[in-house]
Amino acid sequence: MTRSATRFAARSVTRFAARFANRLAATTFVIACLALLNTPPVHGQPSNAPAGNAPAGNASAGNHAQPLQGQALLERGRAIYADQCAGCHGAEGQGHAEHYPHGLVGDKSINELSKLIHDTMPKDAAELCVGEDARAAAAYIHESFYSPTAQARRKPPRVELSRLTVRQYQQALADLIGAFRPQAAWPTAAGLRAEYYKKRQTSRENRVLERVDPAVLFQFRDSSPDPTKIEPPEFAMRWNGSIVAPETGEYEFVLKTENGARLFVNHTQTALIDAWVRSGDGVEFRQSIKLLGGRAYPLRLDFFKFKEKTASIGLWWRKPRRTVDEPLTDRDLRTASVPETFVVTTAFPPDDRSIGYERGASVSKAWDQAATDAALETAAYVAARLPELANAKPDDLPQGERVERVKKFCRRFVELAFRRPLTDEQAATLIDQPFTAGPDIETAVKRVVLRTLKSPRFLLVEVPDGPPDAYDIAARLSWILWDSLPDPPLLAAASQGQLSDPAVVLRHAQRMASDPRAQAKLADFFRQWLRIDDAPDIAKDSALFPEFSPVLAADLRTSVELFVERIVGGEAADFRTLLTAESVPLTPRLAAFYQAGSNAPPAAESTSGDGLAEALAAATFRDVPLDPGQRAGLLTHPYLLSAFAYTATSSPIHRGVFLSRSLLGRSLKQPPEAVAPLSPDLHPQLTTRERVALQTGSESCRSCHNLINPLGFTLEAFDATGRLRREEKGRPIDDSGMYFSRDGEEIRFRGARELARFLTTTTETRDAFVEQLYHYWVKQPYRAAAEPEQRRLRERFAAENFSIRSLVATIAASYACASN
């Protein structure tokens, strides 16, 4: 079951539970509980066999005046483990098929482990191993195989040979083709350039008005765009500019008009939506196109009115995986023209994410087939646009000259794809041979493209046929920072031998970290770090929260993306601000729902009568301080609080899991047994906190929920929609919580602000963030880097005021300059 489906199941279950609690099948609850941890369901219960085959023995017999230390402690632990534990857990913690099939692996501290053993182990005979014995067993387990460092010692992580991930493939092809097109600066001026005509023919003499429109959301009714210059019966408009796609996926564009209109997106010749001929009653036209995130695409919209009674035009879109249409506004639209981008449409199987980040460590038949189809698609695209890309129009050039230009194009194409210059021998087989084989230029080009894109020199992230050279360093930087190919300045630095200097490498990394492609990757990172990368739109119990509409939910999603973007894209890009900022970007709709009160944006002033100002105001986000003194950045962003909640009630477990995993980097195992969440209706007198405590009170739950619950409880002052609340069921909210640090220290806090203060000061959050960022960006194990290098990255992060942008550049430069 996919993650979104399980989450959905979890929500529906709650809704059901409210009404049909007693009819609920326990199996459904299993899914619900497991969904919390986002892991595949376990079938069956753990073994009921008595813990330990061997008698308890006399290991705990001796009493020591001094606590054991060091090797002595470990030796004692080894004996106890062999005697009392190995029967079920295996000689080296690998597990036992019958008794306890899971490996003893985790990140609890020795103190946590000893408490756990003291309280619960051996199973059904916990009194046999307590106190000093428990501590010795914990120390031995921790040191020998349990802890991440023990695991690392047993199997040192290594940099694995990797193929391109789907993201890398798509981005690389876009940049590969883009290299042969005019290079446009990143468009910044918002809106679209608009031209208004007094007739339906868009000739110069009919043009009466030019301006920049922030959006195309007009209701002209029976009037005209400018009654002083344009008569209502007949007129035309044209909007030109570009559109920025915030993430990769299928975008559905929506034209709403009762007149004639044509929309061009990323293709300047073929309309995406051709609604030029109005026919019958159709007023809404939809068409999808795949776009890559963090890039700008050319957009043009033509409109005309002829004799119809009324006129209106609205340009909307539905972003990937969303459930509502949203108007396109100056957040997304730019006035500048940009060239077309090649977006490969072949669908690839998703990349392996089993260890928490996407990587290309394996190949499959389906992947190979997709890579072939994509190569064919690209070959056809290139062959059809050869005059443009190779600057070789058949009409303008004699055949010989045309062949030369096309061969030149091919050579550069291969060199860009392979990220290095070709040897003469390579050029002879890769370029010259297809051209002599005939029969025509287009066929030769197609063969070059196919050969290049099927070659391991393109498909492998790095070809390990020698020690890394300057071109490998350049490619490492661009893969890490952009998931794409090196750009011309980087290739120039490589060819001039500048990249042997780590300072130069770092400067390039810093330059590249500010590029929109890096910003887009950062946005993608945060989507998965926040665990909101699928099923973006949230639904709530409509009886309890009638105003929580799909449109409001869509705004909320955009709000969290804007929140991250504004901080991460800002000058400081300070990680801590993500957890402490008190303002939230809100639309008027959101402000009303979250009772931002006097801080709410003012109502729109209607001026023009064409409806634009009102439509735009409703869709415009402003930073609004919400609930002064109560909010703590992402921790209390209403989107996350709503996402980590049920449809009717909050979910301290969802919230606690997020805090444990993403913020503190703790690993959590799947629940040891199938557990049905308790229905609120069965315990109407209990608060959510009490119900969760009751639910997870058993021994087997406590090993994880002792960590999860006290973190999640600190956000109990926020309901299922993330609204602030003072009480639940007539009783004041208890939002006190605590955390056992990896050092064994017990830290107590109350509410979101105190939690944020802890998270922004502890090194655990910092270290976890560095590791997670490293994994997402490098796609190789963090622990494959030398230990001093890991330490340096952590220290640099702190020294550079927790600038996320700097950290990304530091990580990229560090990996690029590594010797392997």
Task: Give me the residues that bind another protein (CB under 8 A), please.
Answer: 158, 160-161, 163, 259-260, 274, 276-280, 282, 304-308, 361-363, 365, 368, 372, 376, 379-380, 394, 429, 437, 440, 443, 446-447, 450-451, 454-457, 459-460, 463-466
Q: Which is nearer to another protein, 163 or 531 (CB)?
A: 163
Q: Which is nearer to another protein, 11 or 411 (CB)?
A: 411
Q: Which is nearer to another protein, 282 or 488 (CB)?
A: 282
Q: How far, rounded to the nearest angstrom, does the alpha carbon of residue 677 sit from its chain's CA centroid?
A: 29
Q: Which is nearer to another protein, 364 or 542 (CB)?
A: 364
Rounded to an integer, what distance in angstroms lies between the CA atom of residue 637 and that of residue 259? Answer: 42
Q: Which is nearer to another protein, 379 or 562 (CB)?
A: 379
Rounded to an integer, what distance in angstroms lies between the CA atom of residue 134 and that of residue 60? Answer: 9
Q: How far is the CB of 305 from another protein (least distance, A)?
A: 8
Burial 782-819 (b: 16+ CB within 10 A, else e): bbbbeeebbeebbebbeebebbbbbbbbbbbbbbbbbe
Rounded to an integer, what distance in angstroms lies between the CA atom of residue 399 and that of residue 395? Answer: 9
How far the first Cα of the chain sits from its last, in Å, is: 39
Q: How far is the CB of 758 from another protein (least distance, A)?
A: 41
Rounded to an integer, what distance in angstroms lies between the CA atom of residue 658 and that of residue 712? Answer: 9
Q: Which is nearer to another protein, 466 or 629 (CB)?
A: 466
Concatenating the DSSP letter of every residue in 130-158 gives -HHHHHHHHHHHIIIIISHHHHHHHS---
Q: Which is nearer to another protein, 188 or 270 (CB)?
A: 270
Q: How far is the CB of 450 from another protein (least distance, A)?
A: 5
Q: Which is nearer to another protein, 309 or 725 (CB)?
A: 309
Q: How far is the CB of 463 from another protein (least distance, A)?
A: 6
Q: How far is the CB of 476 from another protein (least distance, A)?
A: 17
Q: Which is nearer to another protein, 435 or 525 (CB)?
A: 435
Q: How far is the CB of 395 from another protein (least distance, A)?
A: 8
Which amino acid is located at 158 in the chain?
A: R
Q: Which is nearer to another protein, 463 or 678 (CB)?
A: 463
CB atoms within 10 A of CB 376: 16
Q: How far is the CB of 816 from another protein (least distance, A)?
A: 20
Q: Which is nearer to another protein, 442 or 800 (CB)?
A: 442
Q: Which is nearer to another protein, 466 or 788 (CB)?
A: 466
Q: How far is the CB of 460 from another protein (least distance, A)?
A: 7
3-state SS of 78-135 is: HHHHHHHHHHHHCCCCCCECCCECCCCCCCCCHHHHHHHHHHHCCCCCHHHCCHHHHH
Strands 311-318 and 273-275: unpaired
Q: Which is nearer to another protein, 437 or 543 (CB)?
A: 437
Q: How far is the CB of 84 from another protein (least distance, A)?
A: 37
Q: How far is the CB of 201 from another protein (least distance, A)?
A: 12
Rounded to an integer, what distance in angstroms lies between the CA atom of residue 404 and that of residue 390? Answer: 10
Q: How far, rounded to the nearest angstrom, does the alpha carbon of residue 444 sit from its chain's CA centroid?
A: 40
Tokens 């369901």 -> residue: 41
Cβ atoms 300, 193 nearer than 8 A: no
Cβ atoms 562, 621 nearer than 8 A: yes
Q: How far is the CB of 200 from another protein (least distance, A)?
A: 9
Instruction: Tell me the three state secondary structure of residue 747.
Output: strand
Q: Which is nearer to another protein, 43 or 365 (CB)?
A: 365
Q: How far is CA 239 from CA 172, 184, 319, 333, in A?
A: 30, 19, 21, 11
Rounded to an integer, what distance in angstroms lies between the CA atom of residue 435 and that of residue 433? Answer: 5
Q: Which is nearer to another protein, 462 or 614 (CB)?
A: 462
Half-sphere exposure of 746 (CA within 13 A, CB side): 7
Q: How far is the CB of 281 from another protein (least distance, A)?
A: 8
Rounded to an integer, what distance in angstroms lies between the CA atom of residue 592 and that of residue 819? Answer: 56
Q: How far is the CB of 276 from another protein (least distance, A)?
A: 7
Instruction: Tell me the three state secondary structure of residue 736.
Output: strand
Please, which residues have CB within 8 angstroms of residue 28's CB and are 6 or more apart in sequence? 9, 13
Cβ atoms 447, 438 nearer than 8 A: no
Q: How far is the CB of 279 from another protein (least distance, A)?
A: 2
Q: How far is the CB of 60 from another protein (least distance, A)?
A: 44
Q: Which long-range contacts (CB under 8 A, 24 or more apart) does 365-374 make?
A: 367/163, 370/346, 371/169, 371/453, 371/454, 371/459, 372/454, 373/346, 374/169, 374/173, 374/344, 374/346, 374/348, 374/453
Q: How far is CA 88 from CA 95, 270, 272, 688, in A?
A: 7, 67, 63, 36
Per-residue tokens: 391: 């600057």
> Dihedral, CA atoms, 610, 614, 620, 626, nearest 10 degrees?
170
Q: How far is the CB of 280 from another protein (least distance, A)?
A: 4
Q: Which is nearer to another protein, 353 or 748 (CB)?
A: 353
